[in-house]
Each structure stands twice: as C-alpha cells, then as structure tokens.
Structure 1
Amino acid sequence: MLYHQGRLIDHIHLRVTDFGRACDFYLAIFQALGIDDRMQGGRDWLELDELFIDGCAPGQAPSLVHLCFQAADRDAVQRFHTTGLAAGGRDNGAPGLRNYHPGYYAAYLLDPDGNNIEAKVDERVRQRSAPAIRLTD
C-alpha cells in the first residue's frame, strides 16, 4: 500500500446512491488520469489511496463534496473531462486556465450524485521531490 505521510487529509469517504453507476464514473476518470493501477475494490466498495467510495445505506443521503485530483498535464485534464462526460458525469466547467493563480489549468464534472469533481494541473510546479513516500511496518 502506498501511503502519503505529512499531508493534511487522511482520507475522504464518498457515499453514493448507485454504487455501480458511481464505479463506472470513477473507474473511467481514474483511467483517464492514468491512476487506475492502484485501485482496490470489492462488491460494494472502491478505494484509491485516501479516497473510499461506498453505497448509501437505505434512507441515507449521498455525500456532496468538492474533490480535486492532480493531473499530469493539460491532456490528462482534457481526457478526464471527456471520459467523465461519457461515463455519466455532467459538465461543471470545461478544461481551461482558471484565474485562481497563473498556470492553474482545470476541468470540473458533477458525478452521478452531484459531487463536484475536478482535475487540475498546476503548471507552476516544476518538479516534485518524490512521487510518494513509502512507509513499511
């Protein structure tokens, strides 16, 4: 398991109303972003790094959050948007530069439950010191 030490977020848990439909959407966008090889899952759950997705219990509402995934480059952001639309997402902002700061290139989708899902590349970041930190027992 790859675990990121020293980050603010330990994990994010999304509850979805239709687990199968959500899986189709998330598996498609993860593949578009080139990160699907780390996916783990079962009959009613899906996990990738710090993200855990499962279905709502009867009468339970889905979570509604804004979640942003890192993309390698502008092409990956475009693939995320195109693939996510084809997999049941709804447009919430086409790929493009944003005025948050120079070099912020992003796209937004609403997943099947209405979560605001973003993919972005920060073109100001020149080089990462490491892709991840591996911890062992």
Structure 2
Amino acid sequence: MEASEIHRGRLIDHIQLVVRDIDVSRKFYGAIFSVLQVPIGGEADDYFWADELFVSTAGSEAAQGSLTGRHHLAFQAQDEKMVEAFYRAALENGGKDNGAPGERAYHPGYYAAFVLDPDGNNIEAVYHGKATRSAASVTVTF
C-alpha cells in the first residue's frame, strides 16, 4: 500500500477496521465515501483504503487473524444536505439506522446522522454549522 500524501501533526495517523465480509464493506463505504467526496485510495482482494481509514479482512497480513471491535467513526460533511445524502446512501448499501439526520445538543449547529455499518460500527457524518469559530479551536464537551 502506498500513501499519496503524508500528513504530520494529526492526532490520528490511521485507523484499521477488520471486517467479516470485505465485499459488503466495500459497497457500504464506497457509497458513503462517494457522497462525502472522499476517493478510495487503493484496494486489493483483501483490503481497501480511503484517506486514513484502512479496511481489511481478518486474513490480511496486518489484521493478524482478528476482527476489530465496535468503533465510532465520525466523518465531516460540507453541509446538512451532505449529511442527509450520507444517511440515505448508508441505508441503501447495507447500513442500519442509528440516528436520523438532525441537530444534536453537542454544540450549536451540530447536525449529524448515525448508521451502523455491516459489522456494527457506529458511523457518523457531521456538519458543524456555519458558526463563526477558528478551525483549530472548537471546544466540545462530552
């Protein structure tokens, strides 16, 4: 696997999900990434990757024979319409509803949708609204 860009200074360098059925996951993630305008960076029979997310089978060398547990991944959307399109694409491609598109109380302008991917991971698309703020200094309380 070859990276097209290396980004320094990020909290997360990459994440790997090890899934039961790579073809089902490829369909699901391909659909939501198309909506979110994130290209698939590369793929083979036992894996694919987009940006810093690597998805593989348990049989791939990096997985060491084990599935990953349940994770929550949140992807940024450009606007509310993109969140809604993400939700529809996810449900049409093997995802299950885990929270329809709408505003959340996390902070003003937080608009999100949640779905479970085919392996039960909680996948979110979020648009943070048009609130005036510095991109590097948003405080969120959980």
Q: TM-score range by the shorter chain?
A: 0.7 to 0.9
The unaligned stretches of length 5 or more in structure 1 are 130-137
Does 2:95 correspond to 1:89? yes
Bigger fraction of residues in strand: 1
Taking structure 2 as the reference length, the TM-score comes to 0.82
1:120, 1:88 → 2: CA distance? 20
CA offsets, 1:37-94, max 9 Å, x none?
Answer: x531111111111110001239733431000101111011000000000000000000
Give the 5 Å matches for 1:1-137: 1-36=4-39, 38-57=40-59, 60-123=66-129, 124=131
**Is 1:33–1:76's contact at 8 Å kept on the other side of the alignment?**
yes
Q: Secondary structure at the match of 1:102?
A: coil
1:81, 1:42 → 2: CA distance? 27
2:6, 2:135 → 1: CA distance? 16
CA offsets, 1:83-106, max 9 Å, x none?
Answer: 000000000000000000001100
The unaligned stretches of length 5 or more in structure 2 are 137-142
- Percent of residue pairs identical: 47
RMSD between aligned alpha carbons? 2.0
**Is 1:16–1:55's contact at 8 Å kept on the other side of the alignment?**
yes
**Is 2:38–2:51's contact at 8 Å kept on the other side of the alignment?**
no
Aligned to 1:133: none
Q: Letter of the 1:21 partner, please give it.
A: V
Query: Alignment length, in residue pairs?
Result: 128
